[in-house]
Structure 1
Amino acid sequence: MTSRFTELTIDCHDPERLAAFWCEVLDFKVIDRGEGKVEIGSWEPTVEQVLARQMPPTLQFIRVPEGKTVKNRLHLDVSPIDRSTDDEVTRLLGLGAVRRDLGQGPDRSWVVMADPEGNEFCVLRTLAVVPTKESR
């Protein structure tokens, strides 16, 4: 048997705040919380489901005392499913994200942003179906 990718853990100062932000971004829900940690996901994992096949990982936010000091070596990418990339960036700005310039240049198909604690993530191209002239 191999291992399964079951969760991605993110260090932070305020797990509740960051979990709430990412729940809004991804339409996830809180599936577990404990002292200094909150886990969110699109489903509630069971041992049987995890053993049967690879399932989407959950996100777990863990309180740590130190702050973020450098660019993330690992980051999340999100793709809007029901709106344009620009409209999704506007929505995320309203949730508390900020644009981040990491030297990516202006001619990119993605937008680099940071969550309320400064963790970088990218908004990629939209996956929304855009009507063509023929389908209108």
Structure 2
Amino acid sequence: MAPVVSQLTIDSRDPHALAAWWAEVLDWRYVWEPAPDDDEIEISPPSGDATNWLFIRVQDAKSTKNRVHPDLRPPEGSDQATELARLLALGATRVDIGQGEVPWVVLADPEGNEFCLLRGTPSQAAAALAAELEDNAES
């Protein structure tokens, strides 16, 4: 049996602010109500269908490109342009990490952690995968 991922841990200079920002971006909730002096803040999806994110206070600032980053899809009923406008209005910034011409948008959160906004919604991605699997089965 394989281990279960409990949380994705994210180092942060200000875990309160960064957890609040990501909770708003993802429409997630706090696992517990954080106290002002908490050095760890955890958020989770209301549905419980994804791994929680744990923000931990660190003293050093981010200095290089992330080795791991989240890829976000626009929610059903939306699209990449609409979600991009919302993320930028919340304080995300566009970043160039050498990605070149790609169909996704590379962004950074308020502490500079990169993440990508993909083009299709979850149902569009599922349909594309199903079509690809069907094509491969016919080959």
- Structure 1 gap ranges (5+): 46-54, 131-136
RMSD: 2.0
Match among 39, 45, 52 for residue 42 of structure 1: 45
**Identity rate, percent:** 45
Q: Give the C-alpha shift of residue 116 in structure 1.
A: 0.3
Q: Give the C-alpha shift of residue 126 in structure 1.
A: 2.6
Greater per-residue strand proportion: 1
CA distance, structure 2, for counterparts of residue 80 and residue 25 of structure 1: 11
CA distance, structure 2, for counterparts of residue 115 and residue 63 of structure 1: 16
Q: Is the 8 A contact 1:83 1:126 kept in 2?
A: no
CA distance, structure 2, for counterparts of residue 86 and residue 79 of structure 1: 11
* SS in structure 2 at match of 1:4: coil
Match among 87, 96, 99 for residue 91 of structure 2: 96
- Structure 2 gap ranges (5+): 125-139
* SS in structure 2 at match of 1:71: coil
* SS in structure 2 at match of 1:38: strand
Q: Give the C-alpha shift of residue 44 in structure 1.
A: 8.3
Structure 1 residue aligned with 2:133: none
Q: Is the 8 A contact 2:73 2:122 kept in 1?
A: no
CA distance, structure 1, for counterparts of residue 74 and residue 92 of structure 2: 15
CA distance, structure 2, for counterparts of residue 102 and residue 128 of structure 1: 25
Ranges of 4+ aligned residues in structure 1 off by more than 4 Å: none
CA distance, structure 2, for counterparts of residue 71 and residue 36 of structure 1: 23
Instruction: Supply the AA of the counterpart residue of 1:118.
Output: G
* SS in structure 1 at match of 2:22: helix
Provide the aligned length of Structure 1 versus Structure 2. 120
TM-score, normalised via structure 1 length? 0.81
TM-score, normalised via structure 2 length? 0.79
CA distance, structure 2, for counterparts of residue 65 and residue 125 of structure 1: 35
